[in-house]
């Protein structure tokens, strides 16, 4: 059987070339790509955008902001008659108190910014019980026209921890933000904890 030509030709290859081929290591793709100035600039831009995105999604204290809406809980002040407002953050418990409404019932109060143009502040009732009265006033809370309020009234047979679902709608962006909040009692005090925030698109028909 005849020896293939390529095998015969390999006898004439210089030993230095063979040694170089054995020691050769292919340059990684990332190194070869970033030799070009344009691609280097693109990579720098992407890194900068990522850093700015992380900073934008964090609050002043480094807490991750999960929604453009700020959900606020209200508690009675031990030092004055003014209500204490605390912004809810996922996984953190904040004090919350029961307030009396102008219709005589008591409930836990939350608020979100009123982002809908040309619409006044509203007070919504969240309850699993039977309640149909219209609320215009919450005793101890001055109604802010830039906020929408939500009063959670536990049902008679409802047990703790209470689970509250709050769903403000941003009509300007056609988005609804679904908040899941837990209210539990520790000693004589109540605390609210934001469990989850889900953003959904509003489908307009």
DSSP, res 118:
T
- Over the stretch 13-27, which tens digit does the pLDDT of each residue have? 555 555 555 555 554
Confidence at residue 21, expressed as pLDDT on a 0 to 100 scale: 52
**Is 90 exceeded by the pLDDT of residue 79?**
no
| Bridge partners of residue 96, in order along the sequence | 190
**Using an 8 Å Cβ cutoff, are 97 and 190 in contact?**
yes
Alpha helices in 109-186 (DSSP H): none
- Over the stretch 51-76, which tens digit does the pLDDT of each residue have? 344 333 343 444 444 445 689 999 99
CA separation for the pair 205, 168 (Å, rounded): 19
As a whole number of Å, the end-to-end CA separation of the chain is: 81
Confidence at residue 147, expressed as pLDDT on a 0 to 100 scale: 93
**Using an 8 Å Cβ cutoff, are 106 and 129 in contact?**
no
- Over the stretch 90-121, which tens digit does the pLDDT of each residue have? 999 999 999 999 888 899 999 999 887 778 88
Here the tokens at position 106 are 């008591």
Here the tokens at position 116 are 């809908």
Domain boundaries, the chain: 5-57, 72-201
Task: Tell me the longest C-alpha to C-alpha distance in the chain.
Answer: 107
Output phi, psi for 15, to 5 deg: -60, -30
């Amino acid at each position: 059987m005849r020896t293939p030509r390529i095998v015969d030709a390999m006898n004439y290859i210089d030993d230095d070339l063979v040694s170089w081929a054995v020691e050769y290591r292919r340059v990684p793709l990332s190194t070869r790509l970033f030799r070009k100035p344009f691609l280097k600039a693109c990579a720098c831009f992407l890194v900068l955008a990522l850093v700015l995105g992380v900073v934008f999604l964090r609050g002043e204290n480094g807490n991750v902001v999960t929604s453009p809406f700020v959900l606020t809980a209200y508690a009675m002040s031990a030092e004055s008659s003014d209500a204490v407002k605390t912004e809810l953050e996922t996984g953190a418990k904040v004090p919350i108190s029961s307030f009396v409404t102008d219709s005589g019932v008591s409930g836990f109060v939350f608020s979100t910014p009123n982002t809908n143009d040309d619409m006044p502040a509203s007070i919504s009732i969240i309850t699993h019980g039977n309640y149909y009265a219209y609320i215009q006033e919450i005793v101890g809370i001055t109604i802010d026209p830039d906020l929408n309020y939500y009063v959670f009234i536990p049902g008679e047979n409802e047990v703790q921890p209470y689970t509250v679902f709050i769903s403000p709608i941003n009509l300007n962006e056609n988005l609804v933000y679904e908040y899941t909040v837990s209210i539990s009692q520790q000693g004589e005090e109540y605390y609210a904890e934001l469990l989850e925030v889900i953003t959904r698109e509003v489908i307009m028909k």
